[in-house]
Amino acid sequence: MTILLMGHPNVGKSAVFNRLTGANITESNYPGTTVDFTEGHTFIAGKEYRIIDVPGTFSTEPKDEAERVALDILEEHEDAVVIVVIDSTKVERGLYLAFEVLERGYPAVIALNMWDDAERQNINIDVSRLEEILEVPVVPTVAISGKGIYRLVEKIPSATQVDIKDLKEKISEL
Amino acid sequence: MKTKSTMKLSEMEYGERGVIREIKQDLKDQILGRGIRVGKKIRMDTKQPINGPVVITIGKSTTSLGYNLARKITVEVEEDDDTSDGTS
Amino acid sequence: MKLEPEERWRLIDRVARETVQYGAEKTTIKSTLAELTVKPFTGIPFAIAILYGFWAFFNAFAGFFTDGFFVPLFDDLWLPWIQEAFPLEGSWFYYILVGDPAATNSFEAFGILTSGLFVAVGVVLPAIVAFYLVITVLEDSGYMPRLAVLVDTVLHKIGLHGFAVVPMILSLGCNVPGVASTRTLETKKQRFMMMILLSIFIPCGAQLGVMLSLIPEYFGYIMLYLLAGFFVFGWILNKVVPGSSPEIMTDVPPFRIPTISNVSRKLWVKVKGFFTNAIPFVLLGVGLVNILYLVGAIDWLSNILGPVFTGWFGIPKETVAPLIAGFLRKDLAVAQLSAIEMSGFQLITSVVIISIYFPCIATFSMIIKEGRNSGGVLKVLGGSLLTLVTVVFLWGGLLHLIGMILGVT
Amino acid sequence: MKQKTFNFILILVGASALIPGILELLFTLTGKTFTWGEIAFQGEFMFWRGVVLLASGVFYLTAVYHTSRTEKRAQAVLASLMIWIVGGMEILSVILSSIPGDGGRWFNSTQGFFSSYTGPFIPAIFLLPISLVLVLLIFGEERKNEG
């Protein structure tokens, strides 16, 4: 099983990655490009998972080489679970990428990272409502201190695909 | 008293605020994922001298764009007659 | 099912309206500080302080390991031992691996296991650790994009990108990681330009140190002339090299305090990667120079170049020997130069020539290795040799001309 | 009271950064070195230290009488950061160069080790305590206003 960590640059994606993996991580060059990516392994509920820290990207419509590699990695792992790491102070932007991932039929978990920053800036996010609307697990995290990472791991096995058509109708009725 | 005028993003001054009205098609696709889109409120943070890049804030995200990219964005600027230090 | 971007945004706006509330905006010292670092008036002096700190840290750190421990380790223990213990003294095999059996320091032995290993482990490794450490801290703290925005104003004028500042400052420590980090640039054109410009015009930390201690009175002139060359030839390359130079478009994240665990993990991955990827190339490069020596190619070259030096550049022909040493280490070459009898202007000229005539072999090996990312090894090799020859003759000759006009030759 | 204290510290630290900054630039340009008591105007890259000190002096002094504005308080913090970068790196370099020995010894003698710490030092070192106090005051004030 493979877990892909996706998110914008500077959302603390590699901090999440470091929390999830053990010491045995490798950085390698994506063939034919100048882009490097990191991967490691972890055990969740007795099952071994391969975790890939996908290069930071703003959308799945690639604009440069790093974003192209991000898309290639995503498309290569059709049966992967995707953890979309979002900066909690920039939820809208992050959801854009999360939607794109869901639209491609990947089961996903959303990590609302940098939750402490959002609290400090008086940003209130109704996590359970968000979970209810999107029908994917949403977990507030502070990767730097490790807060929420355990819950994030717990939710990974329960990630399922989302029917976009239903989602669209549901949101339109809000 | 507030008056409004339309200008290119590259022409905005420090601390000015406005609303994005138009983005040229070729740039539009490039910056959609970054949350820079028509209708969003925008603030000019800084502008580097001799046609260097601009730095703008939309919501909580701050982005820097090269001068020629900034020229492709049209903004309706609110000109605030009150003196303001731009930090509010 | 895929949505259209506009439709996607429409849905997200609805979701956000339902779930996210933004409280009153607060202007804090921290957020204002973040803004000040990207405004020119306050940002540029701060950037100077950061770059100064970068350089000072490198000097202290690399000095501690290289001069404090690796030099005595290699010169007093390793070199005498291997000179003694290695069999077949006098054979070509000994020459390539150990080098000069009478050498008393690891610079001058010129063997793969002596100079090669010393340069790779004793000199380049501490430089790499120091520089990647600072780069990682700057990246994790969120400062790097700000620096890129500030310098983009100037760098974009010659077709480069604000983020080209990373290879540039790495190169001031050591050109090897500088060349390696050009891969973060976006287009082949930018990577190619950066690789050539930095290996020609940016002197490495070791060279800077020697210049500062031996010829401090000329240091400013030399750096000024090299910097001017960087921009003049950057401008020319921008016109000549095909390809595109995209404009900067980057997020400017808020400042964050980097954590030790994240920084050390990143640093470890980078250093490990460097060890396995780059160091074999450096060792191979040293071996190659030795083979060229053995077959007489280098002597042949210096005989041909001698007259060019006196005629075109107006510097004594004794400078050929230091130039050859410059293949391996430019700081050593500068040190040898300062022992040669010549006028002040000739000294400036010859130090400039040392800097621009050819990258050191470790850097050159890296250019070959990274070349495939910038349009193919042969293209990059051809392109860089062509640029090198042009630069050396034009920029070196121009300096001679300036000297003649000023009447100081 | 608070305002007055702020202004006083700002003027004090501003002037004590600006003047040595200008001196460092002048000594670089004239190619001289100079030691005044425990303060040394010398060493590699003095020019850039001069630029940093000069700029931070200007940042401090232009913040005087404007400490009610967040931007100016942040400017003073920025200036202090700059001084801490220069001074901190100097301390690091003194520490690191005091450890290794020379002439066939791996480590420095105890005497040699301690003699590294007797100065004279560059001007930025002497500004470290007061700039730290200033930063603590500014952040203390902010926390107080919040709470």
- The enclosing domain of A41 has a CATH number of 3.40.50.300
C-alpha D7/C-alpha D63 separation (Å) is 8
Nearest chain C Cα to D69, which residue? C29
Residue D81's pLDDT band (boundaries 50, 70, 90)? Answer: very high
Q: Which among D127, D119, D135, D121 is positioned nearest to D53, based on CA atoms?
A: D127
Looking at the structure of chain A, the number of domains it has is: 1
Residue C44's pLDDT band (boundaries 50, 70, 90)? Answer: very high
Instruction: State the pairing for strand pair C249-251/B61-65.
Output: antiparallel
Decide if B83 touches D, using CB distance below 8 A: no
Structure-block tokens of residue C234:
């950057």
Residue C107's pLDDT band (boundaries 50, 70, 90)? Answer: low
What is the residue type of C80?
P
Q: What is the DSSP string of A50-105?
A: EEEEPPP-S-SS--SHHHHHHHHHHHH-TT-EEEEEEEGGGHHHHHHHHHHHHHTT
Mean pLDDT score, C386-396: 84
ipTM of the complex: 0.86
Q: Which among A172, A86, C250, A84 is positioned nearest to B36, based on CA atoms?
A: C250
pLDDT, one tens digit per residue, over A108-142 is: 999 999 999 888 888 889 999 888 888 899 999 99
- Report residue B62: phi and psi, to 5°: -110, 130
| Helix or strand (DSSP H, E) at C161 | none
- Per-residue confidence (pLDDT) for residue C6, from 0 to 100: 84
pLDDT above 90 for D98: no
Nearest to A133 among C15, C262, C265 (CB): C15
Nearest to D86 among C49, C69, C217 (CB): C49
- Per-residue confidence (pLDDT) for residue A160, from 0 to 100: 85
**Whether B60 and A123 lie within 8 Å, measured CB to CB:** yes
Chain D CB contacts of B46 below 8 Å: none
Contacts of C210 by beta carbon, 8 Å cutoff, 6+ apart: C331, C332, C334, C335
Nearest to B61 among A63, A93, A97 (CB): A93
Chain B CB contacts of D69 below 8 Å: 85, 87
C-alpha B62/C-alpha A100 separation (Å) is 22
- Per-residue confidence (pLDDT) for residue A51, from 0 to 100: 92
Q: What percent of chain D has pLDDT over 90?
A: 19
Mean pLDDT score, B20-38: 84
Mean pLDDT score, D101-110: 76
Mean pLDDT score, C49-59: 87
Nearest chain A Cα to C10, which residue? A172
Is-contact C195 C159, C-beta < 8 A? Answer: no
Nearest chain C Cα to B86, which residue? C27
Query: Taking the mean position of all CA atoms in its chain, how far away is CA A143?
Result: 13
Multiple choice CATH, B3-72, 3.40.50.10860, 1.10.3720.10, 3.30.1490.20, 2.30.30.90: 2.30.30.90
Mean pLDDT score, A78-105: 91
Q: How many residues make up chain A in this entry? A: 174
Query: Does A have 3 or more CB contacts under 8 Å with D?
Result: no
Three-state SS at D91: helix
- Per-residue confidence (pLDDT) for residue C213, from 0 to 100: 67
Question: Which residues are registered as beta bridge partners of B19?
Answer: B41, B76
Distance from CA of B75 to the nearest CA of D (A): 26
Three-state SS at D96: helix
Domain that holds residue A13: 2-173
Distance from CA of D71 to the nearest CA of C (A): 6
pLDDT above 60 for C391: yes
User: Which subunits count as partners of chain C given 3+ CB pairs below 8 Å?
Assistant: A, B, D
Structure-block tokens of residue D9:
């510290």
Answer whether 0.90 is exceeded by the pTM: no
Distance from CA of B5 to the nearest CA of D (A): 28
C-alpha A129/C-alpha A116 separation (Å) is 19
Q: Which among C47, C269, C257 is positioned nearest to C168, based on CA atoms?
A: C47
Would you call the peptide bond into C87 cis, given omega within 30 degrees of 0 as the criterion? no
Decide if B85 touches D, using CB distance below 8 A: yes
- Per-residue confidence (pLDDT) for residue C328, from 0 to 100: 67
Chain D CB contacts of B85 below 8 Å: 69, 71
Three-state SS at B70: helix
- Per-residue confidence (pLDDT) for residue C278, from 0 to 100: 67
Instruction: Show me where the domains of chain D are located.
Output: 3-146
**Whether C247 and B66 lie within 8 Å, measured CB to CB:** yes
Decide if B87 touches D, using CB distance below 8 A: yes
What is the residue type of C79?
L
Mean pLDDT score, C374-385: 78
Comparing D20 with C317, the larger pLDDT belongs to D20
pLDDT above 90 for C62: no
- Per-residue confidence (pLDDT) for residue D57, from 0 to 100: 93
What is the rounded average pLDDT for all residues in chain B? 81
- Per-residue confidence (pLDDT) for residue B85, from 0 to 100: 45
Mean pLDDT score, C2-20: 86
C-alpha C47/C-alpha A90 separation (Å) is 27
**How far apart, in Å, are the Cα atoms of D139 and each of B12, D80, D144?**
33, 13, 9
Q: Which among A132, A142, A89, A80 is positioned nearest to A111, based on CA atoms?
A: A142
| Range name among B36-40, C243-247, C336-340 with the lowest pLDDT average | C336-340
| Range name among A150-154, C114-118, C251-255 with the lowest pLDDT average | C114-118
Distance from CA of C234 to the nearest CA of B (A): 18
Comparing C402 with C374, the larger pLDDT belongs to C402
Distance from CA of A22 to the nearest CA of B (A): 32
Mean pLDDT score, C345-374: 78
Structure-block tokens of residue D11:
């003027």
C-alpha C279/C-alpha C113 separation (Å) is 12
CB proximity under 8 Å: C 20-79 to A = 20-26
| Helix or strand (DSSP H, E) at D88 | helix D70-98
Q: What percent of chain C has pLDDT over 70?
A: 93
pLDDT above 50 for B84: no
